[in-house]
Amino acid sequence: MSYTVGTYLAERLAQIGLKHHFAVAGDYNLVLLDQLLMNKDCEQVYCCNELNCGFAAEGYARANGAAAAVVTFSVGALSALNAIGGAYAENLPVILISGAPNSNDHGSGHILHHTIGTTDYSYQLQIAEKLTCAAVSITSAEDAPEKIDHAIRTALREKKPAYIEIACNLSAQPCAAPGPISAVLDAPASNKDTLDAAVKAVAAFIEKHEKPAILVGSRLRAAGAEEAAVKLADALGCVVATMAAAKSFFPEGHPSYVGTYWGSASTPGVNEIFNWTDSILALAPIFNDYSTEGWSVWPKGPNVAVLDKNITKLDGYNFDNIHLKELLLGLADYFNGKPKKDSTVAQYKRVHTEKTVETTGTGDDKLTRADIQQTLQSLVTPDTTILGETGDSWFNVMRTRLPHGARVELEMQWGHIGWSVPAAFGYAVGAPERRTILMVGDGSFQLTAQEVCQMIRRKLPVIIFLINNRGYTIEVEIHDGPYNNIKNWDYAGIISAFNAEDGKGIGLRANTAGELADAVKVALENKDGPTLIECTIERDDCTPELISWGRHVAQANSRPPAK
């Protein structure tokens, strides 16, 4: 068959496993959207605005491994690039595709609509270069195949977003047919000599310590090393904790798993055992001010080995050009059959105490955060995915025990409030077989609420717990002021407006524990659209972990200038 630039791109998107791509129409991408529609293996999914489109694709990438979003030039792409910055921070290969001015206008001196009013249209590409691992501009159909392949290949290998800009008059122009997709998908192997040296050095590091512990970080998924981490834990027998952003990246039913390591917000007993251990293997971590509680619990020094996606650093050594998965498997093979390094597990069992059971209500008792947490726990099954919005939802999700197969999705590096609503939409599109649960606060919801209507449009049975405490609670705990107050909405009532004449979404309000229990029963029966449960609680009803964490972050933010 013959190909155009647009159908070539569509074929590549389908070949890398995308069954959907997300889009917002604009006059610079309309012909491109037509061309993409010709490929029946990759359905076009529409969003309310470009920011939401980018976040929907980001959520889809979490479910499907990669994603694509198609927007128009400047007024669309500059909005979407916010979400692309998030995909970069969160290590997700999202392909942002932007229609662009006619190729004949480049260098013509023309001032075009949707631009910033200059005759140079390269500013969008320059911005995209800072937020992606590969950014290309297509102004020649002949060059399109190699540029498209380069962008997609780099995104998949780096697990970072890429940017493809296509002049609006080129989408329907003929181009060469695609070659084997293996040229895009195949990744280079680790350098064998370096890998062997890294295995030897890390093994020696482990052997010289009596009390090692494994700390799982959020880049582990991007490294494709989740199963390899389990094999290493099996071989060593030491305790394993996950960083907050990596919750669900290691099976919580594993005999070595102890919980979340997050300073004062850690699972009970975890902070103590990590203070007791004499060495830490940090697997693909991101140590930022949030994950270290304002730098107060930052594992570093000669007794910490950082084994990252492609780089391994430990005392006196630095190895790159190796894959973390291969390194962990090499270490697992080395330690299989050797005496276990399990003293940390024995000590943990001595110091560990069961988490205090929170008091929850029934019937007409006023609804509390603890009631919501208990309800969330009751809904989690092996095929459940929880998306937790920035805020106290993080800490409630941390408290949730996950059966094998359950997943958690958080956006802790980028931390854009409102991310979770379009991301939940995108995730549900990408994984319709899973139960998608969204935990979001009222302040965050107001930023991207429109995308609930797309859940209704596609009849996605997402369960939304909207925590209405009338403000930005996470900011209150960091630094309070009148700017943390928001206008209250009738959140349950919004669903009726989104439904219009044909939607099957349901909006409910729970003021008491009994009303929440009844609402959940309705949600579980609704298979034809989302169910939003507006949970009204007191403004200061939050987890103690948020209070402690917020204090540490505030202290880090308020450090005086260095002299």
| Residue in 168, 175, 125 with CA at minimum distance from that of residue 33 | 168
* Angle CA 152–123–133, to nearest 5: 25
Spatial CA neighbour of 468 closest among 535, 376, 560: 535
Q: Model's pTM, two decimal places?
A: 0.95
pLDDT digits (tens, 9 = 90+) for 105-140: 888 888 888 888 898 889 999 999 999 999 999 999
Stretch 199-206: mean pLDDT, rounded? 97
Residue type, 165: E
Instruction: Provide mean pLDDT across the span 157-172.
Output: 97
Q: Which two tokens stand for residue 355?
A: 């988490």
pLDDT digits 0-9 by tens, 334-362: 999 999 999 999 999 988 876 667 778 89
Whole-angstrom distance, CA of residue 176 vs CA of residue 186: 21
Residues 6+ apart with CB under 8 A from 337: none
Q: What pLDDT digit, counting tens, does each position of 258-312 carry?
A: 999 999 899 999 999 999 999 999 999 999 999 999 999 999 999 999 999 999 9
Q: Look at residue 472 and tell me whether its pLDDT is greater than 80.
A: no
> Do 360 and 370 meet the contact criterion of CB atoms below 8 Å apart?
yes
Q: What is the average per-residue pLDDT within 412-423?
A: 96
Question: What is the C-alpha separation between 71 and 84, in angstroms, rounded?
Answer: 12
Q: Given pLDDT bands bounded at 50, 70 and 90, which one contains residue 199?
A: very high
Residue 387 near residue 424, CB atoms below 8 Å: yes
DSSP letter, residue 484: G
Give the phi and the psi of residue 371 in degrees, each rounded to 5.
-65, -40
Confidence category of residue 471, pLDDT binned at 50, 70, 90: low
On the question of pLDDT at 408 being above 80, the answer is yes
**Structural tokens at position 447:** 């930023």
Q: What is the mean pLDDT of residues 464-484?
A: 77
- Strand intervals (E) in 289-422: 304-307, 311-314, 317-320, 384-388, 407-410
DSSP character for 449?
G
Q: How sure is the predictor about 479, in pLDDT bands with cuts at 50, 70 and 90? A: low
Question: What's the CA gap between 314 and 208, in Å, rounded?
Answer: 13
The three-state secondary structure class of 7 is helix
Question: Could you tell me the domains of the chain?
Answer: 3-185 (3.40.50.970), 192-351 (3.40.50.1220), 369-553 (3.40.50.970)
CA 419 from chain centre, in angstroms, equals: 9
Give the DSSP H or E segment for 155.
Answer: helix 144-158
